Amino acid sequence: MTNDTDLRLEKAFKAYGTVKALDHVDLSVRNGELLTILGPSGSGKTTLLRVVAGFAEPDEGRVLLQERDITFLPPAKRDIGMVFQNYALFPHMNVAENVSFPLQMRNMAKVEIKKRVTWALGIVELGEYAERLPRQLSGGQQQRVAFARAIVFDPRILLLDEPFGALDRKLREQIQLEVRRLQQQLKLTSLFVTHDQEEALILSDRIAVMNAGRIEQLGTPHEIYERPINRFVADFIGISNLISGVIEGQDRSVAVVRSKDGQLFLVAADAIPTQGTNVIVLIRPERLVLLDDGAERSNRLSGTVAEVIYLGQSEKLRIDIGGGRDMLMHRQSRLGGVQLEVGSTVNIGWTPEDAHLIVEDTVGQP
């Protein structure tokens, strides 16, 4: 284990009956980073978190925390801070008592406890609320108390189990950024579990996309979004236009892909699979441009506008390109230029660099 790794899972395996919740998962969380486990419900992300926290034991494999094997250590001895989904604040204790709980459990001196509680409540800007009971606080304040309680004892790592799910949208964004800022400021190694891909993109240093007990892809938000490794990741993160085809040939670092209905598309790629390989071409909706505005692109499709959703700053278009297939397009809203209405005929295009090549053979491995 290298020194900059705080938490490591080695071939962690856990099954519930015939369902593999963790299918030999390897994962390293680096010192100070926020790594997000992102996946749909039932992907095994909660099991992974429970195994790290000590609420579940893996059937096989090991969990190492700062080079120490903690696979079978009880949760109380792990020194892991955790923010629960519904905060799990103790309702019969006030804010200060909640935050001092982990310190009392460590038999810390009263003076030290007081100092640290004041520090932690200061960090989350809740110093004024020390005497309040959890139910007298708003959702956002409760969330901050839970965070203060999780970091007050200087944990080795921080676990966040969908901690923003219960907050309304506007507050959620604010608190997310706040948590991210504190996490970076305190250099807290953090493992964050969520099913919300937008949240994952905003907060993470790296994202591990989980599906069926396996990590499908591990990478920075940028890599995960721009260079998904397979159809699952492409579908799960963001909105995708996917065109299935076969490699026809290549021209330097550009692959030529023939789609099922015979059209040719150019896709820039570092490694180009051999001719005849089944591939998927991914084009994100915001990469598509309207050629009727005068733009030139080497890849083009024409169709009719099937739906226009105006969002203020941008608009979403669904374009029927025939054969029962749609392309989704986002474009900045503007004054003037071509105004699109349902039924208008449009030409859309994109450059080879706007598209990403996914090799179909890596899709849906059992």
Residue 129: CB minimum distance to another protein, A: 17
First to last CA, the chain: 29
Q: Is 210 in the site for another protein (CB under 8 A)?
A: no
Q: Is 119 in the site for another protein (CB under 8 A)?
A: no
Phi/psi at 22 (5° precision): -130, 120
Binding mask 126-145 for another protein (x = CB under 8 A): -------x------------
With contacts defined by CB under 8 A, how many residues of the chain interact with another protein?
Answer: 28
Residues 6+ apart with CB under 8 A from 196: 38, 162, 164, 165
Residues 6+ apart with CB under 8 A from 32: 6, 187, 188, 189
Residue 92: CB minimum distance to another protein, A: 5
Q: Is 86 in the site for another protein (CB under 8 A)?
A: yes
CA distances from 250 to 35, 42, 308 (A): 37, 40, 36
Residue 49: CB minimum distance to another protein, A: 11
Q: Which of 101, 147, 192, 225 binds another protein (CB under 8 A)?
A: 101
Q: Is 79 in the site for another protein (CB under 8 A)?
A: yes
Starting from the edge strand earliest in sequence, which strands make up the sheet with 314-320, in order? Answer: 289-290, 345-350, 299-310, 314-320, 326-332
User: Cβ distance 239 to 284 under 8 Å?
Assistant: yes
Q: What angle do CA 219, 222, 225 make, to 5 degrees?
A: 90
**Residue 76: alpha-carbon gap to chain centroid:** 28
Q: Which is nearer to another protein, 117 or 209 (CB)?
A: 117
Q: Which of 3, 17, 41, 92 binds another protein (CB under 8 A)?
A: 92
Is the Cα torsion angle 6, 11, 16, 20 positive or negative in sign?
positive
Which part of the chain contacts another protein (CB under 8 A), choosing from 97-105, 173-181, 190-198, 307-315? 97-105
Which part of the chain contacts another protein (CB under 8 A), choosing from 7-15, 148-156, 188-196, 245-253? 148-156
Binding mask 33-72 for another protein (x = CB under 8 A): --------------------xxx-----------------
Q: Which of 3, 41, 74, 169 binds another protein (CB under 8 A)?
A: 74
What is the β-pairing status of strands 345-350 and 278-283? unpaired
Binding site for another protein (CB under 8 A): 53-55, 74-82, 84-86, 88, 90-92, 101-102, 104-106, 133, 149-150, 153
